[in-house]
């Protein structure tokens, strides 16, 4: 053993751990463990709920998804707005290893701003969009680049297959499927797919780890909106309007086409318009729906209404004679004059010649109270009930505020403002035998399963004038297109046309502007059995000014196309010489006819969103359909078809609503009813989602 | 007052029992169970981080399995190296530890993580000297305190050299900085000295001095104050300093009685940092619940029980004290780690022995168990240790200085 140390204290004989002290330490260790164990018990059982709540608060995440937005179709089922699944590129910046390099690559692939994206990626948070709703070619390029932290996911995107046609009316929906303008906004509550949530687990960097699997969300989809609009009539109207606006070097214009018996809106054209697919490139001014938002002084187009009112009261008869007064009539201190003085005319000829002098006298005989009452009854000064937001009422002061001069000016269309829709609607009431209809834009709302959710039947608002008075005014309106009338250019070969021209000076600085007018035409055809009511207005035409020269030809151009299309038979012999003598354009503009192809494919069949890359087709929903129908549909698409099994379609790849290349291959699995689809699907090597219902 | 050792030695002499030189198998079984359990938990806790960082979910698991080779090797080697050798070469051990700490500071071989230069990088291998420092200090303390030529109750025989050696080590550790290991070293020094027979009032003064030093160390480093504040009021800054402890509690508290099930932890989804190293106990609590926590504690208490039993039966005062020291160190380190995870103590950098991921910790812990196993055999020293070694030149000089000092006092 070790040496004994000479300095060692005599009483220190023990070496090594002291027994009592070791015991003390042992007790301390056991106590410490008991303490931690108690603490564990307290944390894990007594306060369990707190920590679970805190923990779940951070890793339980709920992904909000929105079901597909409903389509908008015209009265014949043609698609005006549809939703298709397209890929979007997003990023989890926290997982991006090289933000600048990644941003540079993305900028090259997607045409985004490298600096903006680089900043977004460098932020290191959990989610950022890179570019939403990219083209299939871009998506492929991004996928091939295989960048860390960059992801692709399908999102529904809104397409407007007819591009700018009815663009201002349809408006547009934003990238999150919310209606922002036009019908998309005003009927959003029908169209919008309902939101649903999918529970998932999220790690500390925000990556979704487990989603609850696919849910059958069909029943949450938005409803389909069936408009009364007719795509073809809309196309004709827009084209005719656009051509005339261009020819007349005008600032713009609107066309309303109504079906008088139902109040159905067949076309609402306006120019300038925009392509809702590219809405961000248009100015908000172009988004405006001029038909319900713009107000204007009607000018001469009000005259049929004052005459109609007067005839209805019985104070005026159609064959009453009126003094032309040499083209000038004094009202108080003001003189009202005619463009062409008429010596004497009957009541209907006031309309034909658009005589201000005659109209003032009719108005004076009618009296302001009665006149005001009739104007209100015709729907002036109230909303038309089209269902679009922001519709204005126009200005129509109550009768007790009218002075003598007001009564006179309102008789020939100044001193009140109206909307184009009010004019069309009022004229439709005359065409409809005196019954004012509520204009109808939406006919039916249908859910995703095809069931009608809501129907909007035609609605008679009120009877405004008697049928006899309506007939009499119609005769006067028909005179307008005959020799001696102001609207001979509204003639349509083979049909009797009734209508009224209007030329209203616009209000400029310090009074009415001489050179700025709104030329309008409001009328219907055929006069004896009206099928179409049209209101045409051209804003600030420069080449000509009178409504008969500027607006009436548009009416004729539209009518020539649309009447045969609607199956309205011509009743009159076509006298080409007479027409030529009347100065009407006999040559039917073939271009208008050519431009309309009801079978036209949506534009992106030919041109996807980008410039290059393969064209895409939308995969139809084939589930539950028999083979014959599938073959017909797929042939129409032009893609190749793979059929497996027999019976009805139970599975298809790609899924319905997605885009596929036209040279792609569509696979369908068929099964007889009662056959377990999983078996079929497995045999056919198709994906089946767990939990999806069996058909 | 009889020492534990001397009482036992006396009774054995009287009964003339045949001494069996066999390992303490319960200790070996407990250790291997803890290591095996640790592997499972490291795999479960690290899989998400490993997947995210390296693409291989088993990255940390595989490395930990690889560390088992040197770990079990060290255990076997220490079990077969007689503990008398440790006593003889204890100063060399401390010298080696100091050398490693110095090397860990040299640029080029030093590896830094989270602001602390705690590692020596040797090719693919990273050594953490602080683990070895703790074991070396314990060994040296035991060797010194059981020297026959000193009186533990005398200040300059016991506290003075102990404070000197511990002070050098502590200074080097604080340079890294490794506050947790420093505190452990100081605490082990005091504990061993007191248990070996140091005077109560000496111990009291040193403890007070130690507390003052700890307070000073906290006061001069702003991040330690923040950690302490975070510990005292974890709700104040849940995303900042208190983030880890809050996430630890979220994990631990989610476990309830039986836990979410093995592998079902949510907090390991990158929420709880270091959830496979220092905070693996939180994942144990989350996945296995109170039952799992209880099981782990029972295993460590059984370990302590076996370790103290070995100490009681040890063949020499040195072996007895060493067995006690190793047992106490592992037992305390485990409970301190658990207390940190359950927010009973402020965050240190301490692992859960055998269970936490970490090569140095595993190898040193295994070596410590090897020492315990060797002590448990109770074999007499081999022949080459029988003859007292001729004191080295250094030792003779040191002894001469010591003698001169004592004579002057």
Q: Do A50 and B320 touch (CB under 8 A)?
A: no
* Pair (A337, A325) in one structural domain: yes
For residue A432, the model assigns a pLDDT of: 92
Q: Is residue A606 part of a domain?
A: no
Whether residues A19 and B147 touch (CB distance < 8 A) is answered with no
- A648 and A506 part of one domain: no
- Residue A124 has a pLDDT of 63
What is the model's pLDDT at position A690?
36
Element (H, E) at A463: strand A460-463
Contact A487, A480 (CB under 8 A): yes
Contacts of B49 in chain A (CB under 8 A): none
Q: Which domain holds residue A457?
A: 231-582
Tell which of A17, A38, A50, A57 to mutate to test the B interface (max B CBs under 10 Å).
A17
Please name the member of B3, B52, B311 whose beta carbon is closest to the beta carbon of A14: B3
* Cβ neighbours of B331 in A, within 8 Å: 29
Q: Is A8 on the interface with B (CB under 8 A)?
A: yes
> Are A408 and A263 within one domain?
yes
| Residue A548, domain member (yes or no) | yes
In the sheet with A665-671, reading across from the earlier edge strand, the strands are A640-645, A665-671, A648-653
pLDDT of residue A206: 63
Q: Indicate yes or no: CB of A36 within 8 angstroms of CB of B153.
A: no
Same-domain status, A179 and A97: yes
**CB pair distance less than 8 Å for B297 and A55:** no
Contact status, residue B206 vs residue B159, Cβ threshold 8 Å: yes
Alpha carbon of B300: minimum distance to chain A alpha carbons (Å): 9
CB–CB of A12 and B151 under 8 A? yes
CA B163 to chain CA mean position, Å: 19
pLDDT at B157: 83
Nearest-CA distance A116 → chain B (Å): 27
Nearest residue to B368 (alpha-carbon basis) of B121, B40, B35: B35
User: For strand B116-122 and strand B110-113, is the pairing parallel, antiparallel, or unpaired?
Assistant: antiparallel
> Is the per-residue pLDDT at B24 higher than 80?
yes
CB burial string B94-124: b at 16+ within 10 A, e below: beebbebbeebeeeeeeeeeeeebbbbeeee
Domain boundary at A582, A604, A633, which?
Answer: A582
Rounded to the nearest angstrom, the gap between the alpha carbon of residue A202 and the centroid of all alpha carbons in its chain is: 38
State the average pLDDT over residues B115-131. 76
Residues A451 and A316 occupy one common structural domain:
yes
Can you tell me the distance from the alpha carbon of B263 to that of B282, in angstroms, rounded to the nearest whole number? 13
The pLDDT score that the predictor gives to residue A374 is 92
Domain-by-domain residue ranges, chain B?
Answer: 25-408
The Cα–Cα gap between A359 and A362 comes to 5
**What pLDDT score was predicted for residue A9?**
39
Please identify every stretch of chain A with a pLDDT value under 70, giving residue numbers as ranges. 1-14, 61-64, 94, 124-126, 198-201, 204-218, 508-510, 575-617, 657-659, 662, 672-695
Confidence grade of residue B334 (pLDDT, cut at 50, 70, 90): very high
Give the number of domains in chain A: 4
CB contact under 8 A, B5 and A17: yes
Q: d(Cα A350, Cα A479) in Å, to the nearest integer?
A: 10
Looking at the fold, whether A476 and A552 belong to one and the same domain comes out as yes
Q: Convert the pLDDT of each residue in B58-100 to its tens digit.
A: 888 998 999 999 999 999 999 999 888 898 889 999 999 999 8
Q: Report CB contact under 8 Å: A3, B149.
A: yes
Q: Which residue in A83, A300, A354, A355 is the catalytic one?
A: A300
In the residue annotation, A90 being an active-site residue is answered as no
**CATH value at residue A653:** 3.30.10.20
Is B4's CB within 8 Å of A22's CB? yes
- Residue A611 makes CB contacts below 8 A (sequence gap 6+) with none
Tell me what the mean pLDDT of segment B1-16 comes to: 49
Give the model's confidence band at B115: pLDDT under 50 very low, under 70 low, under 90 confident, else very high.
low
Dist CA A304 CA A374 (whole Å): 12
Nearest CA among B322, B317, B295 for reference residue B307: B322
Token pair of B144, please?
């010194």
Residue A209: per-residue pLDDT: 60
Dist CA A144 CA A89 (whole Å): 13
pLDDT tens, position by position, A187-219 = 888 888 877 776 666 776 666 665 444 456 667
pLDDT in tens, A301-332: 999 999 999 999 988 888 888 888 888 888 88
Q: Which A positions 177-206 lie with beta carbon below 8 A of chain B? A: 201-205
Q: How far apart are CA A332 and CA A329, in angstroms?
A: 10
Q: Which pLDDT score is estimated for B74?
A: 94
- Nearest CA to CA, how far is A117 from chain B (Å)? 23
Residues of B in contact with A25 (CB under 8 A): 191, 195, 324, 328
Q: How far is B104 from chain A (nearest CA, A)?
A: 31
Q: Is residue A447 part of a domain?
A: yes
> Does the pLDDT at position B383 exceed 90?
no
Check whether residue A456 and residue A556 sit in a common domain: yes
CB B154 within 8 A of CB B387: no
- Average pLDDT taken over every residue of chain B: 84
User: DSSP label at B353?
Assistant: T
Candidates A9, A40, A95, partner chain B, best to mutate (most B CBs within 10 A): A40
Write the residue in B146, B253, B293 that is nearest to A15 by C-beta.
B146
Q: Which of A556, A582, A608 is the last residue of a domain?
A: A582
CA distance A50 to chain B (A): 8
Residues A530 and A575 in one domain: yes
pLDDT on residue B19:
54
Q: Do A12 and B197 touch (CB under 8 A)?
A: yes
Neighbours of A438 (CB within 10 A): 18
Average pLDDT (B264-278) is 79
For chain B, what is the largest distance between any 2 Cα atoms, rounded to a whole number of angstroms? 68
Q: How many other C-beta atoms can be found within 10 angstroms of the C-beta atom of residue A596?
A: 16
Please tell me the predicted confidence (pLDDT) of residue A581: 53
Burial class of residue A64 in the structure, from the number of CB atoms within 10 Å of its CB (0-12 exposed, 13-18 middle, 19+ buried): exposed
Question: Which one of B253, B257, B310, B340 would you mutate to disrupt binding with A, by most A Cβ within 10 Å of its Cβ?
Answer: B253
Specify the DSSP element, H or E, that contains A195.
Answer: strand A195-202
Does A20 contact B at CB distance below 8 Å? yes
| Chain A partners within 8 Å of B7 (Cβ) | 19
Asked if A302 contacts A430 with a C-beta cutoff of 8 angstroms, the reply is: no
- Alpha-carbon span A208 to A226, nearest angstrom: 39
A509 and A575 belong to one structural domain: yes
Q: What percent of chain B has pLDDT over 70?
A: 89
Check which CATH number belongs to the domain holding A200 and give it: 3.90.1310.10
A590 inside domain: no
Is the CB of A33 inside 8 Å of chain B's CB atoms?
yes
Task: Sort out which chain A residues have CB atoms less than 8 A from B254's CB and list them.
Answer: 48, 51-52, 55
- Do the strands A640-645 and A665-671 form a parallel or antiparallel pair, or are they unpaired? parallel
Q: What pLDDT was estimated at residue B303?
A: 96
Taking CB atoms and an 8 Å limit, are A8 and B148 in contact across chains?
Answer: yes
Query: Do B285 and A4 lie within an 8 Å CB cutoff?
Result: no
Asked whether residue A384 is domain-assigned, the answer is yes
Q: How many CA atoms lie within 13 A of B101 on its CB side?
A: 26
Q: Is residue A2 part of a domain?
A: no
Residue A588 lies in a domain: no
């Amino acid at each position: 053993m070790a040496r004994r140390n000479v300095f060692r204290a005599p009483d220190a004989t023990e070496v090594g751990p002291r027994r009592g002290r070791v015991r003390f330490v042992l007790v301390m260790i056991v106590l410490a463990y008991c303490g931690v164990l108690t603490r564990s018990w307290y944390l894990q059982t007594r306060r369990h709920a707190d920590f679970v709540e805190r923990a779940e608060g951070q890793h339980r995440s709920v992904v909000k998804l929105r079901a597909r937005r409903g389509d908008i179709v015209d009265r014949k089922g043609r698609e005006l707005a549809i939703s298709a699944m397209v890929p979007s590129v997003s990023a989890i910046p926290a997982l991006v290893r090289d933000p600048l390099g990644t941003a540079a690559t993305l900028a090259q692939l997607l045409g985004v701003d490298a600096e903006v994206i680089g900043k977004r990626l460098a932020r290191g948070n959990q989610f950022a969009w890179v570019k939403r709703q990219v083209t299939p070619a871009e998506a492929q390029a991004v996928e091939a680049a295989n960048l860390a932290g960059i992801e692709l996911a399908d999102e529904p995107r809104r397409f407007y297959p007819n591009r700018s046609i009815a663009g201002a009316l349809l408006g547009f929906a934003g990238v999150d499927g919310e209606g922002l303008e036009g019908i998309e906004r005003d009927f959003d509550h029908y169209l919008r797919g309902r939101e649903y949530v999918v529970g998932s687990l999220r790690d500390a960097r925000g990556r979704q780890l487990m989603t609850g699997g696919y849910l059958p969300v069909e029943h949450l989809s938005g409803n389909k909106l069936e408009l009364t609009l007719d795509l073809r009539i809309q196309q004709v109207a827009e084209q005719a309007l656009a051509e005339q606006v261009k020819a007349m070097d005008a600032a713009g214009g609107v066309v309303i086409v109504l079906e008088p018996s139902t109040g159905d809106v067949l076309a609402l054209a306006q120019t300038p318009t925009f392509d809702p697919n590219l809405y961000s490139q248009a100015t908000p001014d172009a988004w405006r729906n001029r038909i319900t938002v713009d107000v204007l002084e009607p000018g001469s187009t009000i005259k049929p209404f004052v005459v109609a009112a007067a005839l209805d009261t019985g104070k005026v008869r159609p064959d009453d004679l009126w003094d032309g007064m040499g083209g000038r009539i004094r009202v108080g201190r003001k003189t009202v004059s005619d463009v062409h003085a008429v010596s004497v005319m009957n009541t209907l000829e006031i309309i034909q010649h658009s005589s201000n002098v005659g109209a003032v006298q009719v108005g004076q005989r009618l009296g302001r109270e009665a006149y005001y009452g009739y104007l209100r009854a015709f729907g002036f000064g109230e909303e038309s009930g089209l269902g679009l937001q922001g519709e204005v009422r126009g200005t129509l002061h109550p009768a007790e505020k009218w002075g003598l001069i007001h009564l006179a000016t309102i008789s020939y269309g100044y001193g009140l403002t109206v909307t184009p829709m009010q004019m069309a609607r009022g004229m439709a009431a005359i065409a409809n035998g005196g019954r004012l209809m509520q204009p109808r834009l939406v006919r039916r709302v249908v859910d995703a399963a095809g069931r009608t959710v809501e129907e909007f039947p035609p609605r008679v608002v009120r009877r405004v004038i008697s049928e006899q008075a309506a007939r009499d005014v119609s005769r006067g309106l028909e005179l307008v297109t005959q020799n001696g009338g102001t609207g001979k250019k509204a003639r349509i070969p083979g049909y009797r046309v009734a209508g009224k021209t209007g030329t209203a000076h616009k209000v400029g600085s310090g009074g009415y502007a001489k050179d700025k007018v709104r030329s309008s035409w409001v009328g219907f055809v055929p006069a004896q059995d009206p099928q179409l009511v049209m209101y045409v207005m051209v804003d600030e035409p420069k080449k000509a000014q009178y409504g008969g020269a500027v607006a009436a030809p548009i009416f004729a151009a539209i009518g020539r196309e649309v009447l045969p299309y609607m199956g309205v038979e011509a009743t009159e012999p076509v006298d080409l010489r007479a027409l030529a003598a009347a100065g009407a354009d006999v040559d039917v503009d073939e271009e208008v006819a050519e431009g309309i192809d009801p079978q036209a494919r949506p534009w992106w069949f030919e041109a996807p969103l980008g410039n290059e890359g393969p064209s895409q087709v939308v995969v139809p929903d084939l589930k539950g359909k028999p083979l014959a129908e599938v073959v017909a549909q797929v042939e129409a698409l032009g893609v190749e078809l793979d059929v497996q099994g027999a019976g009805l379609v139970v599975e298809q790849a790609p899924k319905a609503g997605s885009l596929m290349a036209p040279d792609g291959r569509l696979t369908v699995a068929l099964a007889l009813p009662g056959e377990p689809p999983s078996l079929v699907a497995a045999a056919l090597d198709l994906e089946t989602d767990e939990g999806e219902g069996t058909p | 007052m009889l020492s534990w050792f001397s009482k036992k030695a006396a009774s054995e002499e009287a009964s003339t029992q045949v001494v069996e030189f066999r390992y303490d198998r319960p200790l070996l079984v407990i250790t291997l169970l803890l290591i095996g359990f640790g592997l499972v938990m490291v795999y479960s806790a690290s899989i998400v981080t490993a997947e995210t960082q390296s693409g291989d979910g088993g990255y940390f698991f595989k490395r930990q399995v690889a560390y088992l080779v040197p770990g079990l090797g060290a255990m076997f080697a220490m079990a077969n190296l007689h503990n008398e050798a440790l006593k003889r070469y204890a100063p060399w051990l401390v010298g080696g530890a100091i050398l490693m700490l110095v090397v860990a500071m040299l640029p080029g071989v030093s590896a830094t993580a989270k602001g602390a230069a705690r590692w020596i990088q040797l090719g693919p291998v990273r050594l953490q000297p602080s683990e070895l420092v703790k074991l070396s200090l314990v060994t040296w303390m035991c060797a010194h305190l059981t020297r026959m030529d000193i009186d533990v109750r005398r200040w300059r025989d016991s506290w003075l050299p102990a404070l000197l050696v511990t002070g050098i080590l502590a200074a080097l550790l604080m340079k890294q900085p490794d506050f947790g290991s420093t505190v452990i070293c100081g605490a082990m020094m005091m504990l061993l000295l007191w248990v070996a027979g140091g005077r109560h009032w000496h111990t009291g003064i040193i403890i007070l001095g130690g507390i003052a030093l700890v307070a000073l160390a906290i006061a001069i480093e702003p991040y330690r104050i923040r950690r302490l504040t975070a510990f005292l009021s974890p709700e104040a800054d849940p995303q900042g300093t208190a983030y880890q402890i809050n996430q630890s509690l979220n994990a631990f508290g989610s476990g309830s009685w039986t836990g979410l099930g093995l592998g079902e932890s949510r907090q390991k989804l990158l929420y709880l940092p270091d959830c496979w190293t220092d905070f693996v106990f939180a994942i144990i609590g989350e996945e296995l619940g109170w039952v799992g926590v209880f099981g782990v504690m029972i295993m460590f208490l059984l370990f302590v029980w076996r370790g103290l039993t070995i100490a009681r039966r040890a063949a020499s005062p040195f072996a007895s004290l060493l067995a006690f020291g190793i047992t106490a160190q592992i037992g305390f380190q485990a409970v301190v780690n658990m207390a940190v995870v359950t927010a009973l103590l402020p965050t240190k950098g301490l692992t859960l022995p055998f269970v936490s991921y970490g090569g140095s910790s595993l190898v040193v812990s295994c070596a410590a168990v090897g020492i315990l196993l060797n002590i448990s055999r109770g074999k007499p020293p081999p022949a080459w240790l029988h003859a007292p070694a001729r004191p080295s030149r250094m030792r003779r000089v040191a002894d001469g200085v010591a003698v001169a000092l004592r004579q002057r006092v």
